[in-house]
Every structure is written in structure tokens, then in C-alpha cells.
Amino acid sequence: MITIMLHVSAKTLAQKVTLSAKNATLVEIFNQINSQTGYDFLFSADILKDAKTVTIQARNEELNTVLQRIFRGQPLDFSIENKSVVISKKTEGILEKIINALNLTNIDVTGIVLDEQGRSLPGATAIVKKSGKAIITDAQGQFTLKNVPEGSTIVISFTGYQKQELNARPNLGKINMVLAANKLDAVQVIAYGTTSARLNTGNVTSVSAAEIELQPVTNPLLALIGKVPGLFVAQNSGVPGAPITIQIQGANSIGKGNLPLYVIDGVFFNSEVMSRGSFVGASNPLNYINPGDIESISVLKDGEATSIYGSRAANGAILITTKKGIAGKTRVDFNFQDGFSWNTRFIPTLNTQQYVAIREEAMRNDGRIPSANPSDPGYAPDLKIYDTNRYTNWQKVLGGGLGQNINTSATLSGGSENTQFLVSGTFNKVKSIYSGDFSNKNTAVHMNLYNTSQNKKLKTNFSVSFSNNDNSLPAVDLLNLAIRIPPNAPSLYNADGSLNWALNSAGASTWLPGGHPLSSTLAKYNAKTKNLVGSGNISYNILSGLDISSTFGYTYQQTDEFEFIPSSTFEPQQRANNQSSSGFINSQINSTNIEPKINYKRILFKGALEALAGITFHQESGMNRTVVGAGYSSDLNLADLGAASRIASKSSNEYLYKYAALFARLNYNWGEKYLLNLSARRDGSSRFGSANQFHDFASVGAAWIFSNEGLIKDNLSFLSFGKLKASYGTTGNDQIGNYAVLSSYLPTTTTYQGLSGFYPANLENPYLEWELTKKINLGLDLGFLKDRIVLSANYFVNRTSNQLLSYTEPSTTGFGSIAANFPAIVQNSGLELSLNTRNMETKDFSWTSSFNFTAPHNKLVAFPNLAQSPYNASLVVGYSTGISKLFHYVGVDPANGLYTFLGKDGKPTTAPKSGTDNYAIENTRYPEFYGGFQNSFRYKGFDLDISVNFTKQNVPNIDFGYSFGPGLRQSGNQPITVLNAWHKPGDIATVQKYANGFTVFQGFLNVGNSDAGYTNVTYFRLNNASLSWQIPKTWSQKLALQSIRLFANGQNLFTFGNYEGADPETRQKGVPSTPPLTVLVLGIKVSL
């Protein structure tokens, strides 16, 4: 037996003791007494195993009296010998044994459980620690545990809060819970409910508002980059409001949609927009959701987490929860930030000397003599009209400006125990880096009202978010043009400020390629989008543990776009044959969502059972109308469609989508050791024919928290948490056209007897079925050293069958194709790792870190008769669905200076045949791995947060030039990589000979479609850095303010990697465009 003696020397020995402790261990109490009195405590190592925690208040009391209070109800006894307190096991006498056997000392324990705001917590669990007897609190947060042995410990728990252990007594009074500081116990929003990472059987990752608000982004999805394992997010352009690529655990469908499901406050939100968008394409719908209004974002990945959403979440789900009011004094928060954005990644292009030399060599290779005469075969204004000693860095001129990022918001919140409210307003403006007044402005209003009845049975919660977006972007990407402008091109403007068209002797503009770079800025594009998301939830507690509720949701999105193209945008020599025009596009999407539910909670045996059942009714409608007018007598009338002499084109599109479902979930938690989750859903969609309009989906998830086993607790004290989990679930995919299963007709453009007719456009297929995805997830979660280190690993395998694709019809049918199911199977598998650590914690300083890593693998497992299908050209069984069949590049032939590739016969050829000589197969669309790591430092009032993301993927390169290849006037300037070119027989080079015409153009196309046209890139990006200072409270109080925080946030600060193009994230093939911009803002947050 090992005996432990707690001893601290003391100059004097005191008999009086003062203590204040809540749920303290006996060792902690012994240390306090020892430090005050100098008394030693002697006990064996295992004797305190069954000891209870102690809550005590004592002020200057006798030591013996305090010890009697401490050991009351403990299975221990004590004796004082000299200056030592000896601890021993208590022996029961005959009388005590009779009393215990008859439960004569048992008591009834009552209490009221409240949250951190003093509101009742219905559904909290009160459990007797040893016996496992438990009960769930009622609507008022009250509970009664009957026949509890005196001296027992009562454990109070609720999702998102720290557990509280209390010594049993008849009236525990009000028990105020404390929000969990441990990430494992923080609230995780899941489908139709909440849980925690500790108790979740699925694969879910959550990002909090605190992490989102550090990043100066206008789309909340961008705040998730590098934060969530299994989630890949990439910007397609640095232009404000540009589309975003997003995938959860890879691409499941070959051709019918891989977008996740978006749910905002329980309301389904459309994953696509109907507007055309600017030159960068249609915007992402979450561009219209204000990041500042978001409380948390949960990413649901595996089958257990997503199956209850059925066909809507085959590609995962993103749940957004908006901010709500907090009970307490009315609070006003102001947030203002202002800063700049700029481009830090310019393409190294040719200077004037290099450009002129290449152009002249190209002319010589084609036997042309440069001439200023427009009718001469050797016409070369860049060599004969432009000043060959002039140099301008056009990227800096057109894309090197400073954009401005302004964001200001105000929030009013507060309320009582029964009613809380929040109202906020935000204005955001992002001005582009291009010269001119181009910007994206967004005004947002968010409101929330929560109320509970006096008896806590009836609860209502309403939220409304409205935004008005005003997007005025140029008609083209000016940086894309700037990269190609010859370095010796003339000034953009004449002396009088008008555009310099640089006319030749025939009166035609000499600007190439693309015409005058600023002519497009004379056109005007504008899109005004109104976006509304409204949600309401009403619930009523019928009996203890039994609630009925219903969620009501409505979304509305309207976009009005117009584009004016005045005659001044055309080159002078073209204006006689081109008319000014104006286009008007009106699009609208609205949806209604109703979900009545019934929820039941109770204690069953020694576990907590929760059952949920509900119905979904969802309807969505949309329309898009486009009208283009032409032939205006004056550019001043372009906004008036009635002033157009003719309607150049018109189109209209409307749809109605209906969806209904039944769903249920059963969750059982046995003593926080064994967890089981079952869910089922039956979906019905109007997108499928009568033969297959309904489908069933289900999932099962189970977990074992082995760290709560006695054997683990006793032998692995360093392991504070350990959980094994597994899940299997099925989901579907209905991301097809709304009328793909029906016969449809479209109007003709020709007329008969003055009337327009119709032609058949689609064949009916009532047998079209859902794509089916089966998901398997295996996970292991480990916590070490009181969860200072938390490691999570998940391995997933998702298989999608019954692929929805277009089946090519024989030409005799009169149709090109019909929507059909193919027996192809796509598999996405991978490993997700995350590590969270609390590296250092002191009174004034803390340092925490997090790291995540994802290695996905996409593969086409099966595709019967692929060789006979039209998809043979782009798919190969056993390879990723993101492959490209590429020529195998050999090099430049030293004899003739042309690109050579490996032919089918194994010999080099300069004329490879597509489909025959395609040897190299490369994954050109999906990343090989990605992830991120973050560090947070806190020192007194200073906070520093740093976030880095990384990706490894194949990216198109510009090693061989762009446009039509180096040497052509139409190609313009080129990257400096084209300097290593072939000049004469015998040269060893990487770039083929220059040409002024299209004699070697096919070779240029071939090399771009070869394995040499892609670079395997690994890049790291300092995605975000935030530094803030909380001004001391005494300072802010002098200003009659509650708090003041100054901050600086930076986005896309540095990129490190082996890529020489504009940016590896955008992955654009061809001429580079505007990359993600560096953003730096300074701001202040004030609370009244």
C-alpha cells in the first residue's frame, strides 16, 4: 500500500480554517487546509476513489468542526493524531446497515435548471451519479428525483453546457448552468436539433461567429476555407461577388449537380441563382447572406448526419444559424471597418525589347515583312506604328489599383427572461481594383424575436434577414485584357481625355487583342438583387418531455439586371455596322417551407431516449425573362426599351418545384457510454415521373465512449476522452431539370400566317429514378490531458449509383438526347484528420492551435458499356471523374522546331490524333489533398489569430503562352516562359518556333491539352490574420461605454508555392484573370 502525505511547512500552526469551495475534490480541500494550518493529511492512494466532491463555505471555524462537515456523507472517516489528519475507510455499524438497507436516509431531491441567462432549461438531465437514476427537466426546467440516498452526488447536464455535480439535498434551488469552455461540449447544430462533438455519432464540423467575423469577406463560404476537414472551397475569381467552387467529400454525380444543401434557420435555401451574372458568371446565392448576421455554420458530411434530409443532401449540407437576442440589459453594438484590397500576383510578361524581338522573328519565320499598310500581308502596327522604345506595365495600369472595403453595422439587442430581441443593420461596399466606378454594395437588415409564455410551455421564435445587393461590375475582366496588351501600345487617352483608338491610315483602330481595353468600361452592367429569408418556429410542451412544433419558412430572391452597350464601345470603323443595344433580365425565385414535428424525450432504463417525427412540405417557383432591344437613335435612351426600333431577342423561363417528405429519428444515450442514432425519410419530388416519384432513405450511427469505462479511467489517466463511431446512411440526388421527365415544347422563331409555332424539345421518361448515394463513415476521437489535446480522425467511403446522365438518341428520333439513369458507380473515399490543442494557458496568456487535413480520392468504379457511350471520351473506369485525357508531351523537335507527342505506335509525332494518341490521364479538376492550420494567441487585452490553408492539385499552366500562342499579333503579350524557344535546327528548347500566322497553331493547342500543360502544385496561403486590442475597461467606462475593441484584419496576405501563374486557387485555363485579392481593413467595435 502506498501512503500519501500532503505536507507544507509552516512557521505557525493555526486551528481556525476559512474555506470557500464548490464541487472541489478532497485533495483540493486538503491542500487548502494544509496551507492554512500546517496539518498533514495521511491516506492510501486508492482510498479516495469513491470520495464525493465537496461544496462548503466556512469562515474562521474550528478545524475539527470543518473536518466533520467535509466528511459528512463520505465513505471515509478521519482522526487527528499530533499534527496529522489520518484518513480511513468508514466502517458501518449494525444500526447504519439496517438504516441503509431500509433506505431510511433517502431523500427527494428537487431543483430548477437555468441557462446562463437565467432562462429555464427544459430537457436537461439530472442523474444520480452512482445508481444511474435519472430524470429530464420539464418545461420550467424543474425536476424531482425520488428516494435518493443521502450523500449522493447529482450530475446536471445539458448540450452545450458544463456538467455540474452537486451534493444531494432536498432542495437544490436554482442551478445556473455555465456554457461549455471545452470544444467537445460546445453546441453543434445538426438536422432538426442540436448535439455536441462529444455525443455526436455523425461527421459534423462547426465554425463559430467568432471565427467568421475575423475575416473581411462578403460571402460566408469564404470564411470556411481551410477550417473544415472534408470541405473544399475555392474562389473562381477575385472580382467581388464571383462564383465559388464548393464540394463536401468530393463529387458524387457525374453530370447532375454536386452542390450541397443550404439550410438557414431551418429553412431550405436555394443553392443556385437564376440571374446571368457579370462576366465572371452567375453569383453564388450566399453572396446575399450577410456574414455578420451568422452565429454558427455546421457542415454535415456523412450519411448519419445527412440522411434525414433525404434527396436534398446527397452532397452534404451546410446549416447556417443566425444571431439571436440575449436576455439582459439592452445593448447597442457599433462596428465600423475600412480598408483596401489590391492584387499582389502579376504575371511576369515580356518587356518591349523581348516582345518586339519575338514578333519580328515570327514574321521572318512566316516570310513576312512588317508593314504599316493595313492591306499588306505583313501588316504589323505594333512594330511599325507603335513606338518600339515605349514600355508600359499594363497589368499595373489596369489592374494595379486599390479597391476599397467598407463595412459598418449596428446591433440593438436585449430582453427579459421570457422575451429577447435583436435588430441589426449592415452596409458593405467593395470597390474593385479597376479604374472606374465599379463596386459591389450590400445593405442588410436582420431581426430576431424570441418569446416564451409565463409557464414556459409555449415558445415562439421568428427571424427575418433581408439584403439589397447592388452590383456594378465592368463588362470584362480588365486584368485579363491587360496581360495581353503589347508593352509598347500607345496611351489609352487622347490629350482631350477621349479614348485613343490609335487609328491607322485606313481609319481603323490598331488595338489588339480585344480592342481598346477601356472601351468595355463605356458599357454599363448593373444587377440589383433583393433577398429575403424568413423563418418562424412555434413549439408547445404538452407533457413533460413531449413537445409539438412547426417551422415555417419563406424565401424570396429577385434580381433585375440590365446591360447597356452604347455605340461608343465599338471601334470607329465598326460603328456603321453595329447598333447600340440594351438588355433587361428579370429573375425571381421564391419558396415556402412548412415542417410540423413532434419530439419526445424520456429516461429509459439508465439512458436518455429522444424520438423525433415530422413532415416536410416545400414548394419553389422561379422565373427568368430576358429582352434585348437594339436600334436606338441615341445612346441616351438605352434605359428605355420603348425607344428601341426592334427587339433583337427575347426569352422566358418559368418553373414550379414541389417536394414532400416524412421523416423520423430515434436517438439513445446510455450513460454517455453507448450512443445509437437511427433515422429514416421518405421523399417525394415533382422532378421525377409517376413511376418513381418517391424513394426511401435511412441511416444508422453508433458510438462507444470508451473513456467512460472504469477500466480505461483507472489505467489510462492521461486519456480524458475516447470515442469510436461508425455510421451508414443513404441519400439521393434530384438536382435535375424541373421538367426533365416530361415531354416539352419550345416556341419557334419563325411564324406561319403571322403566328409562332412550337417544336418538341424533350422526350418523356416517367421511369427516371433518383441517384442513390450510400455513405459509410468510421471515426475515432481522442482527448488527452483533460482535453488539452483533441484528435479526430474520420475515414469515409461514399458510393453513388444510378447516375443521371443524358442518353444520346438516334438522329431518327428528332431528339439529341434524353435524361436517363446509367449503371455507373462513382466512389469518393478519403481520410479526414483534425487536431485541436490548448498549448499554453496562464492568467494573462493563452495559445491554442488547430490543424485539419483531408486526402480525398474520387474514382469511377464501374460504367458498363462505357466504350459504346458518348462518355468514353472523358471517363475511364478506375480513374477519377475529374480526369482529362491528355497527349503525352515529348518535347520540341530539334530539327523542325515543332511540338512532338507520343503517338499510338510509341513514336514521336507532331500531329497527334484526339481519341487515339491520348495516353496520359490526369486528374485536372479535384485536389489531391487540402487542409489548414490556425493559431490563436491571447495576451491580456491583445488577440492575434492566424489562419493558413494549403492545397495540392493539378493546375493549368502558362508555360507555353496563351491565346493563340507566342508570335501572333492577335495573341498580344506573353509570359516570359516563352523566351526559351526554338530558333534554328539543332536547338534544344521548351517552346516551339514562333509564328505570325496560324501555321503552328494546332501544335500550340495540342501542348495545352497535353500533360505538359498542367503543373502539380502545392501551395500554402496565409489566408487570414487578425490583430485586436480590447481597451481596458476602466478606460471605456470613463467614456460611458461598455467596451471598445480596435482591430486589423487581413485576407489572402501571402501565397507560397511552385506555381508561376496568377493564382493556383482559381485554376483557370488560358489567359489568367483577376486572382483573389489581398485585403487589409482597420476597424473599431464599440458596445454601449
3-state helix/strand/coil string of 135-196: EECCCCCEEEEEEECCCCEEEEECCCECCEEEECCCEEEEEECCECCCHHHCEEEECCEEEE
In CATH, the architecture of 3-96 is 3-Layer(bab) Sandwich (3.55)
Cα 214 to Cα 73, 220, 790, 1083, distances in angstroms: 50, 11, 23, 11
Torsion angle (degrees, nearest 10) of CA 1052, 1054, 1055, 1056: -160
Coil, strand, or helix at residue 399?
helix
Fold held by 184-323: Ferric Hydroxamate Uptake Protein; Chain A, domain 1 (2.170.130)
pLDDT the model gives residue 75: 82
pLDDT the model gives residue 101: 56
The Cα 245–Cα 231 span in angstroms is 11
pLDDT the model gives residue 5: 46
Closest CA to 893 of 996, 987, 766: 987
pLDDT the model gives residue 58: 82
668 burial level (CB within 10 Å; 0-12, 13-18, 19+): middle
Question: What are the grid coordinates assigned to 42, written together?
Answer: 495521511
Identify the residue whose cell numbers are 495573341: 971
96 backbone dihedrals φ, ψ, rounded to 5°: -65, -35
Query: Which stretches of 177-307 are assigned E, i.e. beta strand?
Result: 187-190, 193-196, 204-208, 231-235, 244-248, 261-264, 267-269, 294-300
pLDDT the model gives residue 152: 85
Closest CA to 420 of 112, 188, 115, 119: 119
Tell me if the bond preceding 487 is cis, omega within 30° of 0.
no
Residue ranges of the chain with pLDDT lower than 50?
1-13
Q: Which residues of 748-771 are buried (b: 16+ CB within 10 A; e: fewer)?
A: eeeeeeeeeeeeeebbebeebbbb
Query: Which stretches of 453-545 are assigned E, i.e. beta strand?
Result: 458-472, 524-543
Which residues does 735 contact at the CB level (< 8 Å), separation at least 6?
253, 256, 257, 258, 259
Question: What are the grid coordinates assigned to 867, written together?
Answer: 466504350
Q: What is the pLDDT of residues 920-976, one digit of tens each?
A: 888 888 999 999 999 999 999 999 999 999 999 999 999 998 888 899 999 999 999
Angle, CA 53 vertex, CA 51 and CA 58 arms, to 5°: 120
Do the beta carbons of residue 548 and residue 592 sit within 8 Å? no
Closest CA to 962 of 1075, 1074, 1073, 884: 1073
The Cα 159–Cα 549 span in angstroms is 20
Half-sphere exposure of 255 (CA within 13 A, CB side): 16
Q: What is the pLDDT of residues 977-990, one digit of tens each?
A: 999 999 999 999 99
Coil, strand, or helix at residue 393?
coil
pLDDT the model gives residue 11: 36
Identify the residue whose cell numbers are 433583337: 648
Cα 611 to Cα 78, 667, 958, 1000, distances in angstroms: 49, 6, 58, 70
Do the beta carbons of residue 885 and residue 922 sit within 8 Å? no
pLDDT the model gives residue 279: 53
The Cα 245–Cα 221 span in angstroms is 10
The Cα 1046–Cα 1028 span in angstroms is 5
Which residues does 369 contact at the CB level (< 8 Å), separation at least 6?
363, 378
pLDDT the model gives residue 105: 64
Do the beta carbons of residue 932 and residue 948 sit within 8 Å? yes
pLDDT the model gives residue 294: 94
Which residues does 292 contact at the CB level (< 8 Å), separation at least 6?
213, 335, 407, 409, 424, 426, 444
Residues of the chain with CATH 3.55.50.30: 3-96
Do the beta carbons of residue 337 and residue 216 sit within 8 Å? yes
**What CATH number was assigned to the domain covering residues 106-179?**
2.60.40.1120
pLDDT the model gives residue 280: 53
Cα 60 to Cα 69, 79, 142, 549, 660, distances in angstroms: 14, 21, 36, 54, 69
Residues of the chain with CATH 2.60.40.1120: 106-179
Closest CA to 154 of 141, 176, 137, 169: 169
Identify the residue whose cell numbers are 508570335: 967
Residue type, 1043: S
345 backbone dihedrals φ, ψ, rounded to 5°: -120, 95
